[in-house]
Amino acid sequence: MNTKKNRLSIDQNIPNQETGFSLLKYLIVGVFFGIIFVKAEIISWFRIQEMFRLQSFFMYGVIGSAILVGMISIQLIKRLDIKTIKGETVFIKEKKFKKGQIIGGFIFGLGWALTGACPGPIYAQIGVGYTVVIITFISAVAGTWIYGRFADRLPS
């Protein structure tokens, strides 16, 4: 109990923790993002089928150009040492290679083609009014729980 209390108090001192109005900016970015998802029809089950059947360039164009813009942005931030709005240096955690990226990645791909949605579009689909996708969302949360429960027994 004592250690738990200590840990909590340490965590609360981390400057990155934001609360209240400070969080509003992420809501706004999310809203813009959701609108783009819907207006480009990325949330469509059919667009994902076109992609996996190689019958339309659309999704490849979306993901490819998003990567290109992301890459240029990160390079600019690093080379020009652009700071955050609070003046912090931008820090991006490195990704370590794990077997999960192969096995888990493949499993996610199977689900992506079935649901026609990766995690972002699941939220947007619900917002648009496809309320039955709430079941997909609950299942995804449950799937993550199952992963967490058995994570230590899976090849990593």
Partner 1 sequence: MGSFIEWIRHPWPWYVAGPLIGLTVPALLLLGNKPFGISSSFRHINAACAPAKIPFFEYNWKKETWNLVFVLGILMGGMIASIFLSDPDAIVVAESTQADLATLGITDFRSLLPADIFLWDNIFTLRGLFFFVIGGGLVGFGTRYAGGCTSGHAIMGISNLQWPSLVATIFFMLGGFTMTHIFLPYIMALTGLK
Among 1, 2, 8, 153, binds partner 1 (CB under 8 A): 8
| Run of H or E residues at 54 | none
Residue 77 CB, nearest approach to partner 1 (Å): 6
Type of residue at 14: I
**Residue 130 DSSP label:** -
Helices (H) and strands (E) in the chain, counts: 7, 0
Q: Indicate the DSSP class of residue 57.
A: S
Total number of residues binding partner 1 (CB under 8 A)? 126
Residue 46 and residue 121: Cα distance in Å, rounded? 13
- Tell me, letter by letter, the H, E, C secondary structure of 22-47: HHHHHHHHHHHHHHHHHHCCCCCHHH
Subset of 16-35 contacting partner 1 (CB under 8 A): 16-19, 22-35
C-beta of 1: minimal distance to partner 1 in Å?
Answer: 14
Q: Which residues in 72-131 contact partner 1 (CB under 8 A)?
A: 73-74, 76-77, 82-86, 88, 90-98, 100-120, 122-131
| 8 A C-beta contact, residue 118 and residue 112 | yes
Quick one: which of 1, 3, 80, 149 contacts partner 1 (CB under 8 A)? 149
Give, as ranges, the residues between 46 and 75 that touch partner 1 (CB under 8 A).
Answer: 46, 48-53, 55-59, 61-71, 73-74
For partner 1, the closer CB: 2 or 63: 63
DSSP percent split of the chain into helix, strand, coil, nearest 5? 70, 0, 30
Site membership for partner 1, residue 1 (CB under 8 A): no
Check: CB of residue 120 under 8 Å from CB of residue 63. no
By the rule CB under 8 A, 148 interacts with partner 1: yes
Nearer to partner 1, 2 or 86 (CB): 86
Kindly state the smallest distance separating residue 13's Cβ from partner 1, in Å. Answer: 11
| 6 near partner 1, rule: CB under 8 A | no
